[in-house]
Amino acid sequence: MPEGSAQNSRTSLRRALDLGIYGSETDIWLTRDGHIMVNHDRTFQGITPEDTTYAACKKLRLRNGERMPQLKDLLRILRKSKSPTRLVVEVKDHRLPERSCECAAAAVAAIRKYGLEGRVMYISFSIEACRALHQLAPQADVAYLSGDRSPAEVHAMGLTGIDYNIKVFRQHPEWVAEAHALGMNVNVWTVDNPEDIRAMQQLGVDYITTNKPKQPHP
């Protein structure tokens, strides 16, 4: 990760926008009082965003010294940028499915407020959240992450892509062609090894999630 950056930080988004890569992932949680916080893990420095308030979350600092952002902080950065990079919003799998759906609804509303529908796509391990995202934003790209459903099953729910761990595609390499035949996009995560990147490219995936976007890729 570039110097001065941190996962899910304002700086990491700005760096991604500067690189002009396809997309930059961000992970969101809904606090008890309705704020959309950005953080990968369920708990950060002893605080669990879905169980607490914005007042507690805003005191948290990332390893680069930035305060934990809200989704709207990143949307403001994206709106000011002319970069082609899209924001890939992962609605995290909250403890209760209904909370995942509430988070999805809040994200769609925020993105609509900032007029960024065309510059955002959604992903989630929560199938309930994926369904909610498709219902609330039927024109949006929505991909399922868990890897436990075939492309046909995901397509039948109206979703536009599968976004599975590399282990899933090693077990089901045929799913790439099946998804493409259904008009779906295929992403694989998280692939940092050049040999693995090459193998996934040869398999025909559309996108690769990596922690090392600047390393020389085959």
Going along the chain from its start, the domains and CATH numbers come out as 1-140 (3.20.20.190), 148-218 (no CATH)
Residue 109 has pLDDT above 50, yes or no: yes
pLDDT more than 70, % of the chain:
95
What is the identity of the amino acid at 137?
A
- The CA-atom distances, in angstroms, between 19 and each of 47, 79, 188, 207, 213 are 32, 16, 20, 16, 9
Report the pLDDT averaged over residues 98-102. Answer: 98
Label residue 33 exposed, middle or buried (CB < 10 Å: 0-12, 13-18, 19+). Answer: exposed
The per-residue pLDDT for 1 is 46
> What pLDDT shows up at residue 216?
56
Residue % of the chain over a pLDDT of 90: 93
pLDDT of res. 4: 55
* Tens digit of each residue's pLDDT (9 = 90 or more) over 115-163: 999 999 999 999 999 999 999 999 999 999 999 999 999 999 999 999 9
What average pLDDT score do residues 45-68 get?
A: 97
Q: What average pLDDT does this structure show over 16-21?
A: 95
Listed in order, strand segments (DSSP E) in the chain are 23-30, 36-38, 86-91, 120-124, 142-144, 161-165, 185-189, 207-208
Q: What pLDDT score does 212 carry?
A: 86
Pairing of β 185-189 and β 23-30: unpaired
- In this prediction, residue 90 carries a pLDDT of 98
CA distances in angstroms from 15 to 40, 47, 156, 166, listed in the order given: 18, 27, 36, 25
Instruction: Give the Cβ contact number of residue 217 at 10 Å.
Output: 13
Would you state the pLDDT for residue 213? 83
Q: What is the pTM of this model?
A: 0.95
**Per-residue model confidence (pLDDT) at position 132:** 98
State the pLDDT at residue 3.
Answer: 52
